[in-house]
Structure 1
Amino acid sequence: MTADSLTRPDPADDPATFRCSVAARERDDPLFASAPPARRWLLVEHPGPWGFQALGGAGFSPAVVEAIDAFCGAHEARFQLIRRTAARGAPTEAGGRFAVVDSRIGHESVRWGRVDSPEALPAALADLEASTEPSDEPVYLVCAHGRHDACCAVRGRPVAAVLASGFADRTWETTHTGGDRFAANVVLLPHGLVLGRVPATDAVGVAERYAAGEVDPRLVRGRAGLAPAVQGAQHHARLALDEHSVDALAPLAVTNDEADPAVTTVRLAGPDGPLDVTVRERWIPSATPLTCSAGRTASMRTYELVALGGTRP
């Protein structure tokens, strides 16, 4: 990836082709409160090609698919295929490395293992202590799942290439992470922080900040595993407090308004003590599809700030 390649016209901006990421930018879609519900992650190395659905299109036997489904269901885990970028050099192997990542607050961890073939995955998942080893290295996942959505490939692959040039062992292209219209999407593990609209020119800086325990609130879609209302409350608190720490603003309690089901108050661990943030769920209709392949319009969810620390905006 050269500096010149970063300044060339982006194929996703071709006016002759509908691209959901372009439409989302034009609408200025709010990206926060859109991280997936995963509390853990199961990452399995696979060279591709990847089908529309990660697990169903991986070519695994029914026994392997069943074992992965059972593991993810039991552990509230999200399954992701991963592969090295072309810049990494080393080929990706089907059934090679795999990782189990815990993103729960206070339990953040990464464990890596290796199997000779996908058929060995069920046994490995049944005994993680024996089949995996803990790692202190963070993991950077960049959605580059072009068969799921063209924007993920067009915007994601350049970001993955730049990240791999600086952090080869930590960077992986991955399958659908959700929020195609926010491409390029980057997941920072083990914390499960999901970022959107990450420019290739900022990718290295994003990784460096994460290694230092910080994140840019403007790029944060949310922390995976937390309820959308909690993600929304954290977003508004981060902006109001100019809070960049990865571990800041952990949720302490969630209270739903009995009179208005759309209103939720989230108590967060603020820098000076508990902080109450009240948000209201709102659905915004879109005049264009939310993904490249949707074929129809839909509505998007967001969370408006009602009050922060007892003060209304």
Structure 2
Amino acid sequence: MGAGAGVAEGQALTSAGVGGAVGPALTSLGGRGAEAGVGLGDVVARTCRELGIRPVLVRRYGRVDRARSRRWGLVDCRPGREEIRWGTLPTDEHLLDVLAGKDPGSVSNEPVYLVCTHGRHDACCAVRGRPVAAALASAYRERTWECSHIGGDRFAANVVVLPHGLFYGHVPPTRAVELARQYDKGLVVPDLLRGSGAFTPPVQAAQHFARQAGHAPTVDNLQPQSVQQLPDHRWRILLASTTGSISVEVSAHLDTVDARLTCAGSSPAQIRRFELHTLTTS
């Protein structure tokens, strides 16, 4: 499951309308874009791609509070710049102003937990995600949001912890609160961690193998210092650890499995796997 986080430097969160279902990210937004015949959702999605961030629709777990206004959240997941800003969304079109930096919003010190419950994309996400959202919301209601597709359906239930962009998979309801509590302590939960979306898959793989080797599971440990691409789909990554430097060499492979990996998937399927070649400390 390591090295399975979707890569993005940030997240653009948009709360769904009152009573609205979480559908494909931003395609249900109303209004029209600046270009004739192009929906606002398409314009927002394209702008997010250009900025290197992921657009995500969010909603509260359980009954919708009709008195609440819609909100936007802009999350910076870049190492050393982690930040969450929130603001009010008076119209769908206002999201373009947010992405253009015209509305700075307010910085929040509270983390955010996204739980994918996007059943229309894959039923597994809703079936496995909603009990996890319920568990997190019971302990951290203001931090918890159900969300649209974030990738990795085969890892459902999926949780993303922001602002560090930590992707967790196969999360059982009984361990959901553990992720939040460990994050409050500045720690990750290695056996459920898919990786940090702030880093490329080879770096995520190197971090995964370093944690397996016993290096500290702190959130800010194992920052990449250099990434060297080698022949034959191999990489050499230098990580900074609390105990020194770690040089990790990994390679990527595509495996074919005779199984359905998701509720909506087909068999056979292909999955990417990283192999560890060397891991040395200095």
Corresponding residue of 1:226: 199
Could you tell me whether the CA contact under 8 Å between 2:186 and 2:218 is conserved in 1?
A: yes
Could you tell me whether the CA contact under 8 Å between 2:254 and 2:271 is conserved in 1?
A: yes
- 2:114 aligns to what SS in structure 1? strand
Could you tell me whether the CA contact under 8 Å between 1:236 and 1:305 is conserved in 2?
A: yes
Can you list the C-alpha shifts for 1:23-72, whole angstroms capped at 9, x where unaligned? xxxxxxxx111101111100000043233x3222x143331324412431
CA distance in 2, matches of 1:200, 1:263: 37
Q: Comparing 266-275 with 117-126, which one deviates more in the overlay?
A: 117-126
**Root-mean-square deviation over aligned CA pairs:** 2.0
Percent pairwise identity: 42
- 1:141 aligns to what SS in structure 2? strand
Q: TM-score, normalised by structure 2?
A: 0.91
Could you tell me whether the CA contact under 8 Å between 2:245 and 2:281 is conserved in 1?
A: no
Could you tell me whether the CA contact under 8 Å between 1:46 and 1:92 is conserved in 2?
A: no
Corresponding residue of 2:37: none
Corresponding residue of 1:102: 76
Which stretches in structure 2 are left out of the alignment for 5+ residues? 34-39
The offset of 1:166, in angstroms, is: 0.7
For these two proteins, the number of residue pairs brought into alignment is 274
Could you tell me whether the CA contact under 8 Å between 1:83 and 1:92 is conserved in 2?
A: no
Identify if the C-alpha distance between structure 1 residues 255 and 162 changes in structure 2 by more than 3 Å, giving closer, same or farther: same
- 1:274 aligns to what SS in structure 2? strand
Could you tell me whether the CA contact under 8 Å between 1:139 and 1:190 is conserved in 2?
A: yes
Identify if the C-alpha distance between structure 1 residues 282 and 124 changes in structure 2 by more than 3 Å, giving closer, same or farther: closer
The offset of 1:289, in angstroms, is: 3.0
1:282 pairs with one of 253, 257, 261: 253
1:133 pairs with one of 106, 112, 118: 106
The offset of 1:125, in angstroms, is: 2.8
2:65 pairs with one of 90, 93, 97: 90
Identify if the C-alpha distance between structure 1 residues 136 and 159 changes in structure 2 by more than 3 Å, giving closer, same or farther: same
Counterpart check, 1:49 vs 2:25: no
Corresponding residue of 1:34: 4
Corresponding residue of 1:291: 262
Bigger fraction of residues in helix: 1
The offset of 1:254, in angstroms, is: 0.8
Q: Comparing 234-243 with 100-109, which one deviates more in the overlay?
A: 234-243
Can you list the C-alpha shifts for 1:52-109, whole angstroms capped at 9, x where unaligned? x3222x143331324412431232000100000006x63597x810111000111100
CA distance in 2, matches of 1:123, 1:215: 34
CA distance in 2, matches of 1:200, 1:221: 17
CA distance in 2, matches of 1:288, 1:92: 46
The offset of 1:310, in angstroms, is: 6.9
CA distance in 2, matches of 1:241, 1:294: 35
Counterpart check, 1:78 vs 2:54: yes
Counterpart check, 1:196 vs 2:169: yes
Q: Comparing 70-79 with 196-205, which one deviates more in the overlay?
A: 70-79
Could you tell me whether the CA contact under 8 Å between 2:22 and 2:59 is conserved in 1?
A: no
Identify if the C-alpha distance between structure 1 residues 142 and 256 changes in structure 2 by more than 3 Å, giving closer, same or farther: same
- 2:268 aligns to what SS in structure 1? coil
Can you list the C-alpha shifts for 1:102-144, whole angstroms capped at 9, x where unaligned? 001111000101122213222333234x341111110000001
1:142 pairs with one of 87, 105, 115: 115
- 1:278 aligns to what SS in structure 2? strand
Corresponding residue of 1:159: 132
What amino acid maps onto 2:167 in structure 1? V
CA distance in 1, matches of 2:29, 2:268: 32
Can you list the C-alpha shifts for 1:235-274, whole angstroms capped at 9, x where unaligned? 000111242101110011111223xx22211100022221
Could you tell me whether the CA contact under 8 Å between 2:215 and 2:241 is conserved in 1?
A: no
- 2:142 aligns to what SS in structure 1? coil
- 1:264 aligns to what SS in structure 2? strand
What amino acid maps onto 2:32 in structure 1? P
Counterpart check, 1:301 vs 2:276: no
What amino acid maps onto 1:268 in structure 2? L
- 1:306 aligns to what SS in structure 2? strand
Identify if the C-alpha distance between structure 1 residues 178 and 92 changes in structure 2 by more than 3 Å, giving closer, same or farther: farther
Corresponding residue of 1:23: none
